[in-house]
Copies of this chain bind each other. A is one copy, B any other.
Amino acid sequence: MSSPISLTSNIASTNPSVNQKTSDLDVLIIGAGPAGLMAAACLARYGVHNIRIVDKRMTQIFTGQADALNSRSIEILHALEMGTQIMEESNELGEISFWEPDDTSRTLTRKCRIPATVPGLSRYVQRGIHQGRIERILMGKIASWSSRLGKTGKPQTYKPSISVERAVCPSSLELPSPTASALSDSPDDRIVVQLRHLTETEAKPAQFSPLATDGLFRSNVFEKDELDAAPKGLPEKEVLEEVRCRYVIGTDGARSWTRSAVGYRLEGESSNYFWGVMDGIPATDFPDIRLLCCLHSASSGSMLMIPRENHLVRLYVQLPQPPKGQRPNRSDITPEKLLKMANTILAPYTINIPKVEWYTCYEVGQRLVNKYSWADRIFLGGDACHTHSPKLAQGMNMSMSDTFNLTWKLAHVLQGKAHPDILKTYESERAPLGAELIEVDRKLSGLFSGRPALADSSGISLPEFRETMRKGNEFGTGIFIDYPSSELVVKKSDPNSKIHNKQELAKSVVVGPRLASQQVVCLADAKPYHLSDLIPADGKWKLLIFGGDIAKDLGCKERLDRLARFLGESQESPIKKYTPCGEESDWIIDCITILASSRVLIEPDDFHDVLRPLKGKYGFRSYQKIFTDDESYHQGHGHAYEKYGIDSKIGCVLVVRPDQHVSLITGIDDHAGIGEFSQPSFTYSEL
């Protein structure tokens, strides 16, 4: 076995024992925060079940940490069937309110209001919910998606095959040759990770965190990651085991072991700005306590207030700046002192938090990893790639978005649906975003921590701060995430190319970002649906066939029928080529047809079976496949054609990736392009 790199854990083994067993995995996920859990949930959903997820912490987190979901994250969670629960438990943010010193009196006054989420971008607006709940919901989905279904269809009666293994950490990692194939079955071609199951003695919080018992959690100033609760049920003697992996995902946080193991590092610097954070239900006379407030006091520092679920509010309180290179005194970081500082900033208003639910402090800094993957075999995601201040509330969002991008590709490769080359797009798509986030955060953090320029002093410009906050907030929605050209994203409009983006057919659709959702009406049940709900993150590609107005004599019906026959019958059809024998016709590509005619002018059964497949052994028809851009009875008209810029006399086809990003715009008659497009990415072969 070639082994260019081998690294030993920084947690020293005190009581080595023999390896208990060796096993083979498709994917090992190291770290069970939001990024790792999202990875496990997606892989479980896409049907990749020979995976494990380990975390050195003994329990999940229950309070504090990340607290915001941006619009795109909520779209993703809906696409993964977690939306309803999230919507019920989280708190929607309504408005951002800027409080600054009055120009003459210097008293704190409200200077400006903006909507917390830019209107019109998404069905969902920014919401607050604590990380522990998101983790819990993701764990629930991992359990149900990895449970075998019994005859009754009730997964809960079966043990899930995937669950987070806690108090387990990697202790060494051996890399194969960088040119070895992940899909090879030779043991030499696997990534070999040694896992250490911590003993009760080792897993005690005190061992990793001298401060874990005093209420200060996971501060980047004073401590290392610690275990959250007293350990139970751990082995008495340390257990080592060896796992041989096709792929490894390192989502083990800012101090990522996996990152070190492959020799990568975070680059960037600290700012010498320190902030305290606390959660609780406030008693206050401050009128905007249920708004997201950015406060700059004249000379006492800044504060960010975020209203949360269950009447909670989170305060980010700027701490007095210590001399360059020094840190605040530990004794100054207590709930009482943080609250005192908050009151100084908030004067003449007062705030009290009778019961502090959680608190911490952190030093502002921006750091970025130099590479996201090793040989397209080991992938880093989340805080392992990028750390920054929490002000833009991007930590959890960007982290989940990283592995949401990665995992459908990984599932495609492992299931023989795509060539391993598509894994290169993980870094090419995600790394620029990480860099942009770091840049936006660096600018905003400086302005947030800076002393405001008043008439008689130098300092930061408050209007510039507000404009930067507004722009950062727009970036922070996640809606503008735009992936660059690749074999998965055809942006070029070159008629001489075999596959070319026919932008003119859908003038308002952008290839690269996720498809904006519009409402359409189902032919079979007369109900309105949002397109985003019809293209869930189920691991399938979607062909959105805008068939035009087939009720008029424009040739649309004939063109649609020809396309359907091509898709359903031609040997050149990607559906025919890449769907294995015995699988249903929507195994890899799901067709959704949207017509521009009035619903009552169309008979719902007048379509080729490929557009409304028969499923299962009894041949139950799929009814939610054909839609019209029509008025609904109770929710108005979606005007999808108009909003996408599609001509109802011509129509078009949108190729949409399993993560809802638009891949290609082409014509209904472009059978060759549709067939050709899939060539480089689809490659079914029995593994």
A117 touches B634 (CB 8 A): yes
A354 touches B618 (CB 8 A): yes
> Given A92-B527, A307-B525 in contact, is the A119-B287 Cβ separation under 8 Å?
no
* CB neighbours of A307 from chain B (8 A): 525
Among the 9-residue stretches A464-472, A558-566, A619-627, the one with 4 or more Cβ atoms under 8 Å from chain B is A619-627
Please measure, in the bound complex, the distance between the C-alpha atom of A522 and the C-alpha atom of B284, giving whole angstroms.
Answer: 18
A633 touches B95 (CB 8 A): yes
* CB neighbours of A524 from chain B (8 A): 287-291
Who on chain B is nearest to A623 by CB?
B290
Contact of A618 among B283, B604, B605 (CB under 8 A): B283
Please measure, in the bound complex, the distance between the C-alpha atom of A619 and the C-alpha atom of B285, giving whole angstroms.
Answer: 11
Mark A residues whose CB is within 8 Å of B: 84, 87-88, 92, 94-95, 113, 115-117, 119, 125, 281-285, 287-291, 307, 311, 352, 354, 522, 524-527, 600, 603-605, 618-621, 623, 633-634
Question: How many chain copies does the complex carry?
Answer: 2
Contact of A526 among B95, B119, B283 (CB under 8 A): B95
A571 → B minimal CB distance (Å): 28
A287 touches B125 (CB 8 A): no
B283 touches A527 (CB 8 A): no
* CB neighbours of A284 from chain B (8 A): 621
> Given A283-B618, A290-B623 in contact, is the A119-B311 Cβ separation under 8 Å?
no
Not counting A119-B634, A282-B620, a sample of 18 additional A-B residue pairs whose C-beta atoms are within 8 angstroms of each other reads: A84-B87, A84-B88, A94-B527, A95-B525, A113-B526, A113-B600, A115-B526, A115-B634, A116-B526, A116-B633, A125-B634, A283-B620, A283-B621, A287-B604, A289-B524, A290-B623, A291-B524, A291-B526
A431 → B minimal CB distance (Å): 32
A633 touches B291 (CB 8 A): no
A543 → B minimal CB distance (Å): 22
Smallest CB-CB A-B distances: 10 pairs: A94-B526, A95-B526, A290-B525, A94-B527, A115-B633, A287-B605, A290-B524, A354-B618, A94-B525, A287-B604
Please measure, in the bound complex, the distance between the C-alpha atom of A604 and the C-alpha atom of B284, giving whole angstroms.
Answer: 13
* CB neighbours of A525 from chain B (8 A): 94-95, 290-291, 307
A285 touches B94 (CB 8 A): no
Please measure, in the bound complex, the distance between the C-alpha atom of A119 and the C-alpha atom of B634, giving whole angstroms.
Answer: 6
Please measure, in the bound complex, the distance between the C-alpha atom of A358 and the C-alpha atom of B606, giving whole angstroms.
Answer: 32
Please measure, in the bound complex, the distance between the C-alpha atom of A282 and the C-alpha atom of B526, giving whole angstroms.
Answer: 19
A350 → B minimal CB distance (Å): 12
B95 touches A283 (CB 8 A): no
Question: By CB atoms of chain B within 10 A, which of A113, A290, A354 has the most?
Answer: A290
Please measure, in the bound complex, the distance between the C-alpha atom of A352 and the C-alpha atom of B290, giving whole angstroms.
Answer: 56
Chosen A-B contacts, 23 in total, with CB atoms closer than 8 Å, are: A84-B88, A94-B522, A94-B526, A95-B525, A115-B526, A115-B633, A116-B526, A116-B633, A117-B634, A119-B633, A125-B634, A281-B618, A281-B620, A283-B618, A283-B619, A287-B603, A287-B604, A287-B605, A289-B623, A291-B524, A291-B525, A291-B526, A311-B620
Please measure, in the bound complex, the distance between the C-alpha atom of A288 and the C-alpha atom of B604, giving whole angstroms.
Answer: 8
* CB neighbours of A282 from chain B (8 A): 620
Question: By CB atoms of chain B within 10 A, which of A288, A527, A600 has the most?
Answer: A527
B285 touches A605 (CB 8 A): yes
A559 → B minimal CB distance (Å): 23
* CB neighbours of A116 from chain B (8 A): 526, 633
Please measure, in the bound complex, the distance between the C-alpha atom of A250 and the C-alpha atom of B621, giving whole angstroms.
Answer: 45
A646 → B minimal CB distance (Å): 25
* CB neighbours of A620 from chain B (8 A): 281-283, 311
A470 → B minimal CB distance (Å): 14
A308 → B minimal CB distance (Å): 12
* CB neighbours of A604 from chain B (8 A): 287-288
* CB neighbours of A125 from chain B (8 A): 633-634
Please measure, in the bound complex, the distance between the C-alpha atom of A604 and the C-alpha atom of B526, giving whole angstroms.
Answer: 43
Who on chain B is nearest to A88 by CB?
B84
A622 → B minimal CB distance (Å): 10
Who on chain B is nearest to A114 by CB?
B633
Please measure, in the bound complex, the distance between the C-alpha atom of A290 and the C-alpha atom of B620, giving whole angstroms.
Answer: 12
Please measure, in the bound complex, the distance between the C-alpha atom of A94 and the C-alpha atom of B283, giving whole angstroms.
Answer: 47
Question: By CB atoms of chain B within 10 A, which of A94, A115, A125, A600 has the most?
Answer: A94
Please measure, in the bound complex, the distance between the C-alpha atom of A635 and the C-alpha atom of B283, giving whole angstroms.
Answer: 30
Question: By CB atoms of chain B within 10 A, which of A88, A125, A634 has the most?
Answer: A634
Please measure, in the bound complex, the distance between the C-alpha atom of A604 and the C-alpha atom of B352, giving whole angstroms.
Answer: 19
Who on chain B is nearest to A624 by CB?
B290
Who on chain B is nearest to A115 by CB?
B633
* CB neighbours of A94 from chain B (8 A): 522, 525-527, 633
Please measure, in the bound complex, the distance between the C-alpha atom of A526 and the C-alpha atom of B84, giving whole angstroms.
Answer: 22
Please measure, in the bound complex, the distance between the C-alpha atom of A116 and the C-alpha atom of B634, giving whole angstroms.
Answer: 10
A356 → B minimal CB distance (Å): 13
* CB neighbours of A522 from chain B (8 A): 94, 290
Please measure, in the bound complex, the distance between the C-alpha atom of A354 and the C-alpha atom of B354, giving whole angstroms.
Answer: 62
A312 → B minimal CB distance (Å): 11
A616 → B minimal CB distance (Å): 9
* CB neighbours of A283 from chain B (8 A): 618-621
* CB neighbours of A623 from chain B (8 A): 289-290
Please measure, in the bound complex, the distance between the C-alpha atom of A604 and the C-alpha atom of B600, giving whole angstroms.
Answer: 50
* CB neighbours of A311 from chain B (8 A): 620
Please measure, in the bound complex, the distance between the C-alpha atom of A307 and the C-alpha atom of B522, giving whole angstroms.
Answer: 14
Please measure, in the bound complex, the distance between the C-alpha atom of A291 and the C-alpha atom of B605, giving whole angstroms.
Answer: 14
Please measure, in the bound complex, the distance between the C-alpha atom of A164 and the C-alpha atom of B603, giving whole angstroms.
Answer: 49
Who on chain B is nearest to A123 by CB?
B634
Please measure, in the bound complex, the distance between the C-alpha atom of A94 and the C-alpha atom of B634, giving whole angstroms.
Answer: 9
* CB neighbours of A527 from chain B (8 A): 92, 94
* CB neighbours of A605 from chain B (8 A): 285, 287
A461 → B minimal CB distance (Å): 24
Please measure, in the bound complex, the distance between the C-alpha atom of A307 and the C-alpha atom of B354, giving whole angstroms.
Answer: 53
A568 → B minimal CB distance (Å): 18
Please measure, in the bound complex, the distance between the C-alpha atom of A307 and the C-alpha atom of B285, giving whole angstroms.
Answer: 53
* CB neighbours of A526 from chain B (8 A): 94-95, 113, 115-116, 291
A90 → B minimal CB distance (Å): 12
A608 → B minimal CB distance (Å): 15
A466 → B minimal CB distance (Å): 16
